[in-house]
Structure 1
Amino acid sequence: MISNPLNEVKISPSSKTMVSAACSHLIHGIRELNLFSNNPFWTSTLTHTEQIHSTRLFLILTSISLLSVIGYVSLTVHSYEVTRNKFSISDFERLQARYPTTFKSTCTKVSIPYNKFLNVSVRFHQVCSSPFIGRKWISSLYLFNATSYNILDFRTFGFSHYRSLRLLCLLTRQAINDNYHAFNSTNLVALLTFSRAQFNNLAGVLMSNFQKNLLANEKRTAKVTSLMIAQNRLLSALRTNYYTHSKPGSQSYKTYNAHYLERNGIDGSFCDCRSRNNQCTYPAGGFYNWTLPELGKPAKNNPPPQFQKKKKFIQSFIVKR
């Protein structure tokens, strides 16, 4: 290094040569960097140039991996646990909305009956609380000679129909009470607290299952009753869809299925209950002038049925038999 009168520092040619030589040596060392062993025992099948290229690729991939790990560690969110023994519903919903994945709230009671958080109220049809299913009204419809009327006459089946309606209402009340008791005896088991949306979904599923179980039990009861009647061959003395004809003093019996005229149909057309799965319908009324029907033939409706009470006509209604 040489000093001049102007106090300027200049690098001598020998120093420049040393720096240049060091840089050249460093660059050459980087270019010729080879991590493969020179031991003859570990001699690689790669050429010297291929070993240098493999070393460069290894160092580049290693650097990228280290940078990725360092970046991931630096960007990772460190979480810590905070426990609160008591909080309000508003605090619960606020914390759950703020920390949807990490917030957890355990229940103080793991098991709780359904009736503690759900109130099931049942509303029956008005007819089940009306006088039409009362004993007084049903008894007033009883006629000892009911089978002597036309099959379409309301007096033939009014007593039995209202008794069946009363029985249906009683069975429905009993079925609902049984399901209500079973529902209240069942407990919900949960370790973690539900959110408002989860609770609403759970309540909807529970009520849907309650209704489905109720209908399934009702259908099962009706099916068992129908099978008992069919298998025991219980026949009604009333003019129902099936009736048995016999001659006094003989041992021969013949069963006929009922036929009804088609509603608003052409003359002579009729509905066979057996082929229509007992779904034939026809207006019922009061027949005061009628002739005995022929077996296997539809009942006649001439003259038309009329109900009369206090000089006012009551409209006929449809009765499924």
Structure 2
Amino acid sequence: MDLSLSIVVVFNSYSVRTITVIIQSPNENNFEKLSIKYPTTLSCSCTRSSIQHDQFLSFNRTYHPICTSQFVNQTFISSVIEYNMSNYYPLDYRIMTAFHFQIITLLCRTVKQMVSDALEEFTRKYIFTNKALFYDIFNVQIEALIEQLKATTMAYIKHINDFLWFNIFQNRIISGLRTNYYINTVPGSEVSIFFISEYTNGNKTCTCSLNNNCVHQAGIYNVTERVGLQVPLLFGSLPNDARLLLTIPGIMVGCLPYNSILASKLECFYNQSCIDQIQIFMKGFSLVKPVL
């Protein structure tokens, strides 16, 4: 790499002469000093016109802490599976617990793979220039490339999410947990009654046939106090609900496990006291510690 520097000298007679100073193979420190002193006339040709991104960029990936917690351990997930879970009241957290953590585990694994693939593809690309770039210009270009990488990766993740939502919603998939639709079969008869679930959140009522994102605050309910389901299937309306034994902050339930976990903030899982309260009703929570 040769660095040439043009210096304009003005004599008393107003004649102008350009002096070119060539520095062979300057180091980075010298180049930076000269670029500050001679920003308009400094020119530094490169011996190579391209360099791969992984030669000067590295990434420190940080994922949501729950992805490395005990909550995504299969032993824990298996411990909270109950074979009669669909019999719980639809707002009861026990009806979706295992499925929530299965989804979280899958999302963590999927996002890690997607990010890894995106970074691998990005670091294999090249930056092209026949002259050394000033520090500020170089930083602007690299930051723009990284922002584009982030935007592209997020758009791809959103595309996958939208694809899942579209297929679930448009195909009217009926949850085996009976949380979005409920089919009541009359014994000894071919007649089946099809009900659509509704959830209240605040002052609004949301219908699962129109919106899969209907959610409500999760809790533990006394299922023995309510026999059968009233029509219409409106959940979250306090006069009609079973007796609430425990509210679980930051966790939502609703039409489907996938949509409700995406609407959850998971704050309970950062708190040992909250985990201890859930453990009273689900012994499997004794296997986990709070998310750090």
On whether the aligned pair clears a TM of 0.5, the verdict is yes
Consecutive unaligned residues in structure 1, runs of 5 or more: 1-73, 264-268, 307-313
Partner of 2:198: 258
Give 4+ residue runs of structure 1 displaced > 4 Å after superposition.
273-277, 314-317
User: Equivalent of 2:206, from 272, 286, 307?
Assistant: 272
Q: How many residues are paired up?
A: 235
Structure 2: runs of 5+ lacking an equivalent:
1-12, 254-259, 261-292
Identity over aligned pairs, percent: 23
Q: In structure 1, how many angstroms separate the alpha carbons of the residues matched to 2:182 and 2:132?
A: 65
Q: 1:303 to 1:254 in 2, by over 3 A?
A: closer
1:247 aligns with 2:166: no
Aligned counterpart, 2:98? 159
Report if aligned partners of 2:199, 2:205 keep a CA contact under 8 Å in 1.
yes
| SS of equivalent to 1:109 | coil
The answer to whether the aligner puts 1:285 opposite 2:225 as a matched pair is no
Per-residue deviation at 1:276?
7.1
Contact between 1:271 and 1:280, CA under 8 Å: does it hold in 2? no
1:226 is displaced (CA, Å) by: 2.0
- Computing the radius of gyration from Cα coordinates, the structure with the larger value is 1
Instruction: State the SS of the aligned residue for 2:244.
Output: coil
CA, structure 1 residues 75+286, in 2 after alignment: closer, same or farther (shift >3 Å)? farther
Please say which of residues 116-125 and 99-108 is displaced more in the overlay: 99-108
SS for the counterpart of 2:118 is helix
1:203 aligns with 2:142: yes
* Residues 233 and 78 of structure 1: CA distance in aligned 2, closer, same or farther (over 3 Å): same
Q: Offset of 1:315 from its aligned partner?
A: 5.1
Flag the 1:206–1:106 CA change in 2: closer, same or farther, 3 A. Answer: same
Report the residue type matching 2:185 in the other structure. Answer: K
1:84 corresponds to which of 17, 23, 35: 23
Match of 1:296 among 232, 248, 255: 232
Whether the 8 Å contact between 2:49 and 2:128 is mirrored in structure 1 is yes
Structure richer in strand, relative to its length: 2
* SS of corresponding position for 2:229: coil
Q: Give CA deviations for 1:128-175 in whole Å, capped at 9, x if unaligned.
A: 001111111111111111111101111111111111111111111111
2:129 matched to which residue of 1?
A: 190
Is the 2:122–2:149 contact (alpha carbons within 8 Å) kept by the matching residues of 1?
yes
Q: How many Å apart are 1:79 and its aligned residue?
A: 1.3
Change (3 A) 1:252 1:285: closer
Query: How big is the shift at 1:244?
Result: 4.0
Question: Could you state the TM-score of these two structures normalised by the residue count of structure 2?
Answer: 0.71
Could you tell me whether the CA contact under 8 Å between 2:91 and 2:216 is conserved in 1?
no
Distance 2:242 2:221 in 1: 11
What's the CA shift for 1:253? Answer: 5.7
Higher RCO (CA-CA < 8 Å; seq separation 6+): 2
